[in-house]
Amino acid sequence: MALLKKPVKTLIAEAETRCEGIDAEAAQARLGDANTVFVDVRDVRELEREGMIPGAFHAPRGMLEFWVDPESPYYKPVFVEGKTYILYCAVDWRATLSAAALSGMGMEKVLHLRGGFSEWKKAGRPVGEKPAHRDKPEQR
């Protein structure tokens, strides 16, 4: 088996130098702020199993760059200029890579949640359920 020239831990360490983190206490203080958007980059199964930060927007890691770019056919208007985005995942690896990618695309106010959702939950911070999908009618 060939060894990787750049393992994932190196990618994450490099990404940390290109983006800024925020701790859970400071992030919680921004909950409900109209100029702050929490972005959950985890897989939908993780959201269903563990919940998410109340009010967060789900943007799967694999689609994030496409959803952020206004020139992309997949653009989501939640990503407007002038807001601060706090990205998070389970332990902060995917969020760090995501924040570095968005910073590299030119987004200025992108942070990653240090310790991720697992640290958020461990500290007893608020957790909500994954919202129902908007395109599907509610099940009764």
Q: d(Cα 117, Cα 42) in Å, to the nearest integer?
A: 10
CATH of the domain at 84: 3.40.250.10
pLDDT at 137: 42
Look at residue 102 and tell me if it is in a domain. yes
Q: d(Cα 63, Cα 110) in Å, to the nearest integer?
A: 16
How many domains is the chain partitioned into structurally?
1
Q: What is the pLDDT of residues 25-57, one digit of tens each?
A: 999 999 999 999 999 999 999 999 999 999 999
Look at residue 84 and tell me if it is in a domain. yes
Domain that holds residue 93: 10-122
Per the CB < 8 A criterion, the answer to whether 88 and 118 are in contact is no
pLDDT at 134: 57
Look at residue 5 and tell me if it is in a domain. no
0.95 exceeded by pTM: no
Average pLDDT value for residue range 72-89: 95
SS3 58: strand
Q: d(Cα 128, Cα 78) in Å, to the nearest integer?
A: 20
Mean pLDDT of the residues in the chain: 91
Average pLDDT value for residue range 49-67: 95
